[in-house]
C-alpha cells in the first residue's frame, strides 16, 4: 500500500501551488527551501512528485512543449507533465532541490506568460516603497548590487525577479530562487519603479535606452522555455507593454555603496527629466 | 531568381509587435530578435505571399518615401535575403500561401 501524500502549499507571486509527495524527507526539504513562501491559501495548481533515480542536475537544455492538453517539461534530471486546464501535474525527479527549483520556475513562467507577466533574470529590491530591478548577464553585478544595498532595502531576489501587471504598471514579487547570495528573497511586493541593465565601469551613471534596445535586452533576459508560438507572441506583447510603461535604463556602476544613492534618487530625477526623453534611433535588421 | 518574380511571406514561426514606430520581430524557432525601421516595416507588413516584391517596393516604398526606385529595389532585395536567411521571411518565385500562425 502506497504511503499517503503529504502536501505543502508554496505561494510565489500570489500563485499558490500545492506540492505533494509521499516522502517525508522530501517534504521537509521543500518546506525548508520555501520557508517564508509557505501558504494556507487554497492552491490554484497541484504538482505531485514521484521521486526516482533520474540523472544528476543537468546543464542540458530544458525542453518545454505541448503534448495534447498537457505541457511536457523535460531535462536530464526531471520529467514533468502539467495540464493547465485541470491545474494538475506530476513530476518525476530525484530529491535534488535544484531540480525542484527548475520545475517550479518553468511552471511559473508558463502561468505568468498567460497572465501578462514574466520571470526575469534580475535582482530586485524595494527601496522607499518602490521596486527596482537589476538585470544583466552573469557577472554584470546583480549579486554585487544586492550586497551593496543599504540596510533599509528589502531584497526580493538576487537572481530571478517575478513580475506581474498591475493597475498602474507592473509589480515585482519576492521569490525564493536565490543566486550567489544563497539567500531567499522576502515574500512581499511593490510597484516597479525602474529596470536597470547593469554594466560595471569607473563611475556611476544612468543612460537611456531606445525602446528597441530595451525590448531586445528584456527578451534576452526573460526566462522562457516553451516551444510555443502563441505563448511567444504573448510574451513579446508583454515585453513591449513593459517597455512602454516602465522606465528602462543602462546603469553603469562602480561597485561601492554610492550607486544606491543614484537608484534612490531615480524617481525624483525621472519626474524632473520626463520631458527630456529623446526618441530612439531606428535600427535595421 | 529574376527580380521581377520574387514573392515574400512572413514565416509562421515569428512573433511581431510595433513599438514607438519600430517593428520588433522575434523568431520563436531560435529566439533571434530583430528591429525593423520604417521602410523595412513597410516591406515586412506587405509580405502577403502574393504581391511581387517589385510591386511592394513601388507601392509601399517609392510612393511613401523619398527614395530612388532602383536603389530602393536593391535595398529591398538585400533586406529580404537577410531576413529569409534568418527564417523570418519565406521567398519564392511563385505566389505563396500566407502561413497562418
3-state secondary structure of B45: helix
**List of chain A residues whose C-beta atoms are within 8 Å of the C-beta of residue B28:** 227-229, 232-233
- Domain containing B75 equals 3-92
Reported ipTM: 0.77
Each residue of A210-268: pLDDT tens digit? 999 999 999 999 999 898 889 999 999 999 999 999 999 999 999 888 999 999 988 87
Whether A285 is covered by a domain: the verdict is no
B100 Cβ under 8 Å from any chain A Cβ = no
| Together in a domain, A18 and A46 | yes
Q: What is the mean pLDDT of residues A117-143?
A: 94
SS3 annotation, A181-215: CCCCCCCCEEEEEEEEEEEECCCCEEEECCHHHHH
In angstroms, the CA A177 to CA A109 distance is 13
**Given an 8 Å threshold on Cβ–Cβ distance, is B40 in contact with A284?**
yes
**List of chain B residues whose C-beta atoms are within 8 Å of the C-beta of residue A225:** none
pLDDT for residue A56 is more than 90: no
Rounded to a whole number of angstroms, the distance between the first and last alpha carbons of chain B is: 27
Report which of residues A45 and A180 the model is more confident about: A45
Whether A282 is covered by a domain: the verdict is no
Closest CA to A69 of A52, A55, A83, A51: A83
Whether A58 is covered by a domain: the verdict is yes
B13 Cβ under 8 Å from any chain A Cβ = yes
Each residue of B34-77: pLDDT tens digit? 899 999 999 999 999 999 999 999 999 999 999 999 999 999 99
| Interface test with chain A among B16, B26, B34, B99, by most A beta carbons within 10 Å | B26
pLDDT for residue A272 is more than 90: no
| Together in a domain, A78 and A150 | no
Tell me the CA distances in angstroms from B65 to A134, A137, B34, B41, B82, one per residue in order: 40, 39, 22, 13, 21
| Together in a domain, A65 and A179 | no
CATH code where residue B38 lies: 3.90.930.60
Whether B23 is covered by a domain: the verdict is yes
CA nearest B83 in A: which residue? A285
pLDDT of A279: 47
CATH code where residue A187 lies: 3.40.50
| Together in a domain, A21 and A67 | yes
- Domain containing A183 equals 118-276
SS3 annotation, A210-267: CHHHHHHHHHHHECCCECCHHHHHHHHHHHHHHHHHCCEEEEEECCCCCHHHHHHCHH
Minimum-distance CB partner of B35 among A212, A232, A244: A212
In angstroms, the CA A196 to CA A259 distance is 12
* Contact assessment for residue A48 and residue A210, using Cβ atoms and an 8 Å cutoff: no
Rounded to a whole number of angstroms, the distance between the first and last alpha carbons of chain A is: 62
| Together in a domain, A77 and A126 | no
* Contact assessment for residue A259 and residue A201, using Cβ atoms and an 8 Å cutoff: no
| Together in a domain, A251 and A196 | yes
Amino acid at each position: 500500500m502506497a504511503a499517503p501524500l503529504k502536501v505543502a502549499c508554496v505561494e510565489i507571486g500570489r500563485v499558490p501551488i500545492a506540492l505533494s509527495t509521499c516522502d517525508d524527507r522530501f517534504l521537509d526539504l521543500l518546506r525548508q527551501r520555501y520557508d517564508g513562501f509557505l501558504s494556507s491559501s487554497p492552491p490554484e495548481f497541484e504538482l505531485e512528485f514521484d521521486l526516482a533515480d533520474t540523472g544528476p542536475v543537468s546543464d542540458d537544455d530544458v525542453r518545454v512543449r505541448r503534448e495534447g492538453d498537457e505541457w511536457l517539461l523535460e531535462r536530464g534530471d526531471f520529467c514533468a507533465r502539467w495540464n493547465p486546464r485541470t491545474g494538475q501535474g506530476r513530476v518525476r525527479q530525484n530529491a535534488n532541490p535544484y531540480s525542484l527549483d527548475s520545475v517550479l520556475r518553468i511552471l511559473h513562467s508558463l502561468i505568468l506568460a498567460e497572465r501578462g507577466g514574466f520571470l526575469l533574470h534580475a535582482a530586485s529590491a524595494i527601496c522607499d516603497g518602490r521596486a527596482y530591478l537589476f538585470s544583466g548577464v552573469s557577472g554584470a553585478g546583480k549579486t554585487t548590487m544586492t550586497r551593496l544595498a543599504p540596510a533599509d532595502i528589502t531584497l526580493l531576489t538576487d537572481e530571478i525577479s517575478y513580475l506581474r501587471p498591475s493597475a498602474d504598471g507592473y509589480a515585482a514579487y519576492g521569490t525564493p530562487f536565490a543566486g550567489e547570495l544563497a539567500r531567499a528573497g522576502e515574500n512581499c511586493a511593490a510597484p516597479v519603479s525602474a529596470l536597470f541593465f547593469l554594466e560595471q565601469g569607473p563611475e556611476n551613471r544612468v543612460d537611456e535606452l531606445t525602446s528597441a534596445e530595451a525590448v531586445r535586452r528584456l527578451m534576452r533576459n526573460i526566462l522562457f522555455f516553451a516551444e510555443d508560438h502563441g505563448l511567444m507572441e504573448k510574451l513579446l506583447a508583454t515585453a513591449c507593454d513593459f517597455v512602454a510603461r516602465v522606465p528602462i535604463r543602462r546603469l553603469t556602476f562602480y561597485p561601492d555603496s554610492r550607486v544606491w544613492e543614484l537608484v534612490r534618487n531615480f524617481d525624483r530625477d525621472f519626474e524632473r527629466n520626463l520631458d527630456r526623453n529623446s526618441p530612439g534611433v531606428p535600427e535595421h535588421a | 531568381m529574376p527580380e521581377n518574380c520574387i514573392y515574400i511571406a512572413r514565416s509562421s514561426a515569428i512573433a511581431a509587435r510595433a513599438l514607438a514606430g519600430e517593428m520588433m520581430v522575434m523568431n520563436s524557432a531560435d529566439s533571434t530578435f530583430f528591429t525593423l525601421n520604417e521602410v523595412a516595416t513597410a516591406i515586412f507588413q506587405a509580405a502577403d505571399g502574393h504581391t511581387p516584391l517589385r510591386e511592394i517596393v513601388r507601392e509601399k516604398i517609392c510612393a511613401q518615401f523619398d527614395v530612388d526606385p532602383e536603389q530602393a529595389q536593391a535595398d529591398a532585395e538585400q533586406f529580404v535575403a537577410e531576413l529569409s536567411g534568418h527564417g523570418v521571411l519565406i521567398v519564392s518565385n511563385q505566389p505563396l500561401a500566407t502561413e497562418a500562425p
